[in-house]
Amino acid sequence: DPSGKDMRCFVAIEIDEERRQAVRRVVDEVRAMTTVAGARISWARPAGWHVTLKFLGDVADSGLDGVREALATAVRGLGCFEIRLRALAGWPRGSRARVLAVGVEDAGHSARLALGIDDALEPLGFARETRDYVPHLTVARLRDGAAARAIAQATAPFEETLFGTMPVERMGLYESVLEPDGAKYRRIEDYALE
């Protein structure tokens, strides 16, 4: 970034195109049902769907090299794994749901990766996560109780839907650029899991 300003960054696993299309088909159905309900829902762009491993917040351009090195260390020796995408539902469940998300099952692999990222970034001043890491794919943000209720009703048939399994062979460091029509993501660095 030539201007030297801070970048909003996060670390994530990208979803492959086949899984993205499987989720999108169901999300489009749910979206059509909730549009009728007039609920306040902010839908994420399918192109940007990902499983966040760590949100870094603002990273100064001068600190980016340190972050890159730390993440390279975090992935070393962890190896590839598989994730299964299952169930589309409001999260947390019930009338207090704040996001619409797809669950991720992976026998704890992404949680171990998230922990390794925390370990690697803490010495650089990034706060550790205080809550347990629960991998998920956020497809929408629910802005009010009406949205949570509409989503609970619309997603009831999809709470056990299996969207498929995909190998996770890499993770990425991304910049989130806020634009008038929502956030767009730019990959800064790619890390192979070996």
Say what the pLDDT of residue 37 is.
Answer: 67
How confident is residue 93, by pLDDT bands cut at 50, 70 and 90? confident
Taking 50 as the threshold, does the pLDDT of residue 46 lie above it? yes
The SS3 of residue 18 is: helix
Dist. CA 158–CA 50, nearest whole Å: 19
Average pLDDT over residues 68-90: 94
Both structure tokens of 94: 């019930």
Average pLDDT over residues 149-166: 94
Percent of the chain with pLDDT over 90: 79
Say what the pLDDT of residue 2 is.
Answer: 47
Dist. CA 26–CA 24, nearest whole Å: 5
Say what the pLDDT of residue 74 is.
Answer: 94
Report the sign of the C-alpha dihedral through residues 176, 3, 70, 171, in that order: positive
Q: Which residues of 171-186 are buried (b: 16+ CB within 10 A; e: fewer)?
A: bbbbbbeeeeeeeebe
Taking 80 as the threshold, does the pLDDT of residue 36 lie above it? no
Say what the pLDDT of residue 1 is.
Answer: 40
Average pLDDT over residues 70-95: 92
For the chain, strand residue ranges (E) read 7-14, 41-43, 50-59, 81-91, 99-105, 136-142, 162-168, 170-179, 182-192
Instruction: Give me the residue label for tokens 């991720």.
Output: 104
Taking 50 as the threshold, does the pLDDT of residue 54 lie above it? yes
Both structure tokens of 154: 């619309």
Q: What is the dihedral of CA 53, 59, 64, 67, to 10 degrees?
A: -40
Report the sign of the C-alpha dihedral through residues 93, 97, 103, 104, in that order: negative
Taking 70 as the threshold, does the pLDDT of residue 3 lie above it? no
